[in-house]
A = this chain, B = another copy of it.
Amino acid sequence: MHPRVVPEVTAVDMTEAECWEHLARLDFGRLAVTDHGAPAIYPVGYSVVPGGILISARGGSRLLSVLLSGDVAFEADARTDVEGWSVLLKGVAQRIDRTSLKAVGGVAAHADGDAHVLVLITPTELTGRVLHRG
C-alpha cells in the first residue's frame, strides 16, 4: 500500500490589504465561536463591507446569541492543485441595522428578510497566507 505523499508546502504571509482583497473574492467562510467553553464552527455566507465583514444570522438562533457574547474567529480559503490561500480574522461581532450600514458605505448583500439580523464583525487581528505546493 502506498501512502499518499504530501508535497512540501511553502507559505507566504499576506499584507493586510491582500487579506481584504482575498476576502472580497469569496462570499462563503466559516465562523468559530466558543459555546459553553467548547469550540463550534458555523459555515456562513458573508460580504466585505467598510470596517469588517458582514454576515446575517437568524433572530433568536443559537449562532446569534453565541456570536454576540464573546470573541469570534472567521476563516475563508480557496485552493487549486498547486496553490491555496487562507485568511483568518479574529474579532468582535455586533448587530448593525441597515441604516448604520449605509452610513458607513456598506450594502447588505443579504436579503434574508426580517427574520435575520445583520452582524458586523470587526477585526482585531487579520492574517493571511498563500501556500504553494512544491
Q: How far is the CA of A47 from the CA of B12 in the complex (A)?
A: 25
Range for the number of chain A residues in contact with chain B: 35 or more
A88 within 8 A of B: yes
Residues on the B chain within 8 Å of A60, using CB = none
Q: How far is the CA of A117 from the CA of B52 in the complex (A)?
A: 36
Residues on the B chain within 8 Å of A72, using CB = 39
Given A3-B111, A38-B73, 16 extra CB contacts under 8 A: A1-B107, A5-B111, A6-B45, A28-B84, A30-B30, A30-B75, A32-B32, A32-B40, A32-B73, A33-B39, A38-B70, A38-B71, A39-B39, A40-B88, A41-B74, A43-B75
